[in-house]
Structure 1
């Protein structure tokens, strides 16, 4: 009976150890998933049951990018093809940002938002980190292919702006780490008013990059609005030798939000035109 009790005790200890190891593996998986959704410091506070207070960041640089003609590409594609496109593209972007001191804030459809200086303060390096990341992304997007439509090139617009932001966690169910302030609005506006294959930066970001003396190549884009600040195109950096895609020659920016019919494969072009005509008849 003693031997049986000893054996039972030994088996019970092995079983407890096995279950403990499994629990630890699952805990690490959960921690990894949470860290991908929220900054590490925020996730730690939430796990401890502590409230996460909003925080002001005096210096940061924000990145916004958008796919040119995404609405048309979606209309030419099946739903699963749209999901595969975005998954492939964002997987590429995620691999790039992992090599820079930046934080991916969120993706909304084809919009991709990244910040530096938030939630980890890094002095004045935030502008350089986001600029270097933008150049790497622009380099990679030049060779990116859509699996179901390799004939169509994916062109993106990029906007950068530096300034203060307020960051905080919004919501209890599916909480989100969000950024607020005029800096967010300005960065989004720079992206929307930019051009394909271009990095559109603000005067403030230009001044920070110039002060770093790292050899950033910037070209003035004169403002068309009287009294408004000029903006700039970021075209490279000393020591950056990766080839960048050549921006299309657009007059007046008329096509900066779409793709031309000539770029669409003939079979999908006809389906696209038929769908447009069908929608017009419904109206």
Structure 2
């Protein structure tokens, strides 16, 4: 009978019990009819069912049916609490996993990877790329243990990571003492990319002037920065530990601007200066013509400040503590 009721169908089975076949139990027959009602509003809920059974049992509480209903209700309540607790734990773990993935690749790319979709390379017409390195890093490494070098880079780039979070930029990667950041990708931001990178560079230069090396507190750490704007292609490379990488002449040129720059200075290309002129408020000076390997002679500039940027910037004259390669 139970199996037939469970099977349902267009004409669900409902057992018919004659009242004459169950003398002395009219309450139980009534309860059964109510529970099997085709109208859900006529069916008793758990609390009402317990009261009806208790009444059918003449007020006694220790019937087998009472105990069964009570155990089922207790199990259902405990199960709801357990499911809610496990769901909360799963949500927290998913949040941690998403945060970790978003640190490795951009959020928009991460969503494609989570869905199992391939990430096609994308071309960007105009972005600005920032490169920096530590002047004299080779000499600094020679007078430090490997553990001290790791601690130094971790302290420095943790400071940088906190600063760049205030700007519309994407940290591409760090390789040794090199730090690479881009703006205008993977989310395009119109013509703001050059301004975001330029202001960020001033902010990082100001922060590093107050940075203290734990194992060499008497040494002043100094940055060499290069910035260039142009087109590039970006895409995810690899399946294990996937990397969001940038390709194109703009990347190589930005790296050249960094390597041909000087300590405490922000070396900027003409294309970036053109964007900054459109935005206004930025201060710069012409450096002159510089010969760059594989690129040729370039007209370059020094970015020196910005209107309303009140953070102290290091003086170029303070080179007595520069670590020289």
Counterpart position of 1:247? 316
- The size of the alignment, in residue pairs, is 254
2:263 aligned residue (168, 174, 196):
196
Counterpart position of 1:28? 95
Say if 1:224 and 1:131 are closer, same or farther in 2 by CA, change over 3 A.
Answer: closer
Tell me the TM-score normalized by structure 1.
0.85
Q: Counterparts of 1:130-279 in structure 2 under 5 Å? A: 130-214=197-281, 216-225=282-291, 228-248=297-317, 258-259=323-324
Equivalent-residue separation in structure 2 for 1:172 and 1:184 (angstroms): 23
Contact 2:121-2:236 at 8 Å conserved across structures: yes
Tell me the TM-score normalized by structure 2.
0.75
Equivalent-residue separation in structure 1 for 2:98 and 2:138 (angstroms): 36
Alignment deviations for residues 150-192 of structure 1 (CA, whole Å, 9 cap, x no partner): 1011111000000001000000111000000000000000000
CA RMSD of aligned residues (A): 1.8
Contact 1:159-1:188 at 8 Å conserved across structures: yes
2:142 aligned residue (62, 72, 75):
75
Task: Identify which range, 154-163 or 89-98, moves more after superposition.
Answer: 89-98
CA drift of 1:85 comes to 0.9
Higher RCO structure, 1 or 2 (CA under 8 Å, sep 6+): 1
2:180 aligned residue (113, 136, 158):
113
Equivalent-residue separation in structure 2 for 1:80 and 1:86 (angstroms): 10
Equivalent-residue separation in structure 2 for 1:193 and 1:78 (angstroms): 28
Counterpart position of 1:276? none
CA drift of 1:248 comes to 4.3
Equivalent-residue separation in structure 1 for 2:209 and 2:110 (angstroms): 36
Counterpart position of 1:99? 166
Q: Counterparts of 1:8-19 in structure 2 under 5 Å? A: 8-19=75-86
Alignment deviations for residues 17-46 of structure 1 (CA, whole Å, 9 cap, x no partner): 211111111001101111111111100011
CA drift of 1:49 comes to 1.0
Structure 1 counterpart SS, 2:207: helix
Larger C-alpha radius of gyration, 1 or 2? 2
CA drift of 1:80 comes to 2.0
